[in-house]
Structure formats: C-alpha cells, structure tokens
Amino acid sequence: MTKMQEYMQRGEENILKTYNRFPTVLERGDGVYLFDMDDKKYLDFAAGIAVFALGYNNKEYNDALKAQIDKLIHTSNLYYNAPAIDAAAKIVETTGLSKVFFTNSGTEAIEGALKVARKYAYLKDPSKDYEFIAMNHSFHGRSQGALSVTGNAHYQDGFVPVPMRAVFADFNDLEDVRSKINDKTCGIICEVVQGEGGIYPAEKSFLEGLRALCDEHDILLIFDEIQCGMGRCGSLYAYEDYGVKPDVLTLAKALGCGVPVGAFVTAEKASHALVPGDHGTTYGGNPFAAAAVNEVYRQFESRDLVGHVKEVGQYLSEKLDELAEKYEMIRDHRGFALMQGLEFDRPVGPIVTAALEKGLIIISAGTNVLRFVPPLVIEKEHVDEMMNILTDVLDHLA
C-alpha cells in the first residue's frame, strides 16, 4: 500500500462520509497545477470549486498572509481590526452598496442576507409570517436556512420541512415570479448565473423585472454571487453587466481565494434592518481572513484580472464552441468568461473520472453538465492543454 493509499484509507475510517471523493490526495500546488502525494501533476480547471482565483503558491498572497500571522490572527468582533475595516471599505467602494458583514462561508452569507430581508419586512409589519421567492434549480448552501431557498428537493428532503421552504419560481420566467408574490413575500433571491443548477445565466430582462417587482412591493432583492462573482464572469461582480443592483449581495469563494471568508453586503435601504444583537459571528472578519480579502482585491486591481478574464474567457468560449460542434453528445454550451458549462446527453461522471486519470481536474454541475471554473490566472496555453486532454477523453467515449 502506497502512502497515498494509506491516507485515503485513514480518511475513510475517520472522516464522516458525506462526499464520494476521487482517489487522490492532493498535496501541493503551483500556478494552475496541483500535485498529489505520488507527485502526479494535474491541470486544475476547477479551482477548488471556483475558489482559488489567484492560482497556487502565489507568493504575494502567501506573503500577505504570513505577515498577518505574525501580527494578529483573531480578536473577535467585540473590537475593531484594521484589515477588516480596509476590506469592508474596498467592498463598499467597488459594489456601490452601503454596509458589509463578514462571514466564514457562502452559506453563512446567505443566512445573513435572509435575516436582513425578514427583519426589513418585520419592521414594517410584525404581524405576518414572511416568506421568500427563490428559483427552481438554484443552490445557496447546506444549512437549513440556505437549503430553504435552494430549489432542489434532493438537497432539502430530510432536512427542511415543506412549510419552511421558500416559494419557488422558474428562473428567467418573470411572470411566474410575479404570480407568486403576495403580502407575505419579504424578498426574492437568485443567482446571477446559476452554478450547481447547470451554468444558466440570467436574462437581462429577468433581472430588470425582479428589480422593478421588488421596488413596487418594497421587498428586498438578493443576488447570490458566491460562485459567479469576483471577476469570474468578466466583470468584478456579475450584476454589473446587467445594470441591475441588488439590495443585498452575497460573496464568498474567490473573495478570500482559499481562506474561508464570505460576506453579505447591503444597500442603504437595507443597511439599518439589523441592529446590535440581531446577528453575530465569532470568526467572521478576523484579521487573518480580512488580510486575504485585501490581498485579493489588491491583485485584482494591480494585475487587471477582470481584463485578463475577459480575454482568456473569450478564447475558452470559442474552444468550447468547437467541441460542441464536433461531438453529437454535447447538447449545449453556455456561460460567461471563466464560468462555462457543456451540457451532455448523458451523465458526465465518467468524463470527469477519465479526465482526472489523464491529469485534468474538472467538475460537474448537476448530472450532465461539465463545469469550467479554472483559476482566473490561466492563460490560453492552459486552455489548449485542457482541450487536448478533454478531446482525447471524448474521442474515446465517442
């Protein structure tokens, strides 16, 4: 038994089995490549599920975190800390929103956003049992609150009783949403680009219509950009390309590029809903996590990562179009920049497994969609390398 096999066996013995993991133990990374304990090299087109935007072993990022470790890692939110204040200011500046609350994950950011919307409605009329409108095939996280607005019964059954679930409407169907608004609706939540649901971008008219509905009924519009935000879709925040601003925005994943950190950001109208005592977190926004956020924004600006994503994302899109034309098993290609998907006429699990064996890390979105969410620092040569491996896999299947 190799050292890697021994570790995998120990993992099965000691870690709660809520994942069916691939048979490799990843040990280190460099640039857009990962290496396992047997020193096998993998081209990474998953980025830790759209997290590691800056690539692995990024010296400036590592140095910023090392410097913060030597200063201060944690104090709690009973006190101010400079990195969190700087990070919040940068988020407010770039989003054009008003206030930030730091969390430890995207799921916690969703929980906070839901509390903001409920409290906003409660302050106007405390007599109602408020509810949300969410989208079918959406994904917002694994806690009970986040699951309550996740439009997939597979994730909800056994955990969220039906009466606790949101009212669900079809994504990109404004009339369906409109028909489900009532006097108990306190907010509408949607991803700007659905991720786990299969890489479905919102239509501009749909987001514009949601904004108008929320304004008409004085309820809050929540955009979940945990996966599609932070430059991945070719703008710093995906909603910018639509010209539609939310009342609450949720961020995570690439916000910290590997350090667990998320945030919900409120517009001015929603920024006074929560008051001292309404919400809290022990670790959220600690100096270490906030230092990561600050370095991420610094590199986004200094390296013009959004411009880079647009250029390389266009190249990736063209190459995926070529694949879609070549193989009858591919039904559709959709997405933006470095968040794209290929829909197949069959489950893509065997494709993911075969690619891994050939040194390409790629993941699915649902059962039959290949998801492309690489580090944002990939170059065109890496797209070509990915295409060579994937073409080899698909040729074998075809």
Tokens of 232: 């991945």
| Domain spans in the chain, listed from the N-terminal domain onward | 3-57+304-397, 72-302
Block residue for tokens 């890692």: 73
Burial of 354 (0-12, 13-18, 19+ CB in 10 A): middle
268/387 Cα distance (integer angstroms): 45
Percent of the chain with pLDDT over 90: 97
77/136 Cα distance (integer angstroms): 36
- pLDDT averaged over the chain? 97
CATH class of 72-302: alpha beta
54/106 Cα distance (integer angstroms): 19
342/333 Cα distance (integer angstroms): 5
CB atoms within 10 A of CB 48: 20
Q: What is the pLDDT of residue 1?
A: 86
Spell out the alpha helix ranges (H) of the chain: 3-14, 47-50, 59-71, 82-95, 106-124, 144-148, 153-156, 174-179, 204-217, 287-302, 305-326, 349-357, 380-397
In the predicted structure, residue 163 carries a pLDDT above the cut 90: no
What is the rounded average pLDDT of the residues 249-255? Answer: 98
Identify the CATH assignment for 3-57+304-397 out of 3.40.190.10, 2.70.150.10, 3.90.1150.10, 3.40.50.300: 3.90.1150.10
- The CA-atom distances, in angstroms, between 313 and each of 152, 182, 199, 232, 240 are 29, 41, 15, 9, 17
Contacts of 92 (CB under 8 A, 6+ apart): 98, 99, 100, 265
Strands (E), 125-177: 131-135, 167-169
* 4 close to 10: Cβ distance less than 8 angstroms: no
Taking Cα atoms as reference points, which of 293, 288, 259, 290 lies closest to residue 67?
Answer: 288
Q: What is the pLDDT of residue 134?
A: 98
Block residue for tokens 């909800």: 156
In the predicted structure, residue 398 carries a pLDDT above the cut 90: no
Q: What is the pLDDT of residue 103?
A: 98
What is the rounded average pLDDT of the residues 155-171? Answer: 93
Contacts of 396 (CB under 8 A, 6+ apart): 354
Block residue for tokens 């949403």: 177
Q: What is the pLDDT of residue 172?
A: 98
In the predicted structure, residue 169 carries a pLDDT above the cut 90: yes
Which carries the bigger pLDDT value, residue 161 or residue 270? Answer: 270
Q: Angle 341-254-72 (CA atoms, 0-180°, nearest 5)?
A: 165
Block residue for tokens 């945030």: 263
What is the rounded average pLDDT of the residues 88-97? Answer: 98
In the predicted structure, residue 6 carries a pLDDT above the cut 90: yes
Residue 157 CA to its chain's centroid (Å):
23
First to last CA, the chain: 35
Strand pairing report for 363-364 and 369-372:
antiparallel
Which carries the bigger pLDDT value, residue 106 or residue 398? Answer: 106
Digit-coded pLDDT (tens) for 187-203: 999 999 999 999 999 99
394/370 Cα distance (integer angstroms): 12
Strand pairing report for 369-372 and 339-344:
antiparallel
Digit-coded pLDDT (tens) for 50-71: 999 999 999 999 999 999 999 9
49: left (phi over 0), alpha (psi -120 to 50) or beta: left
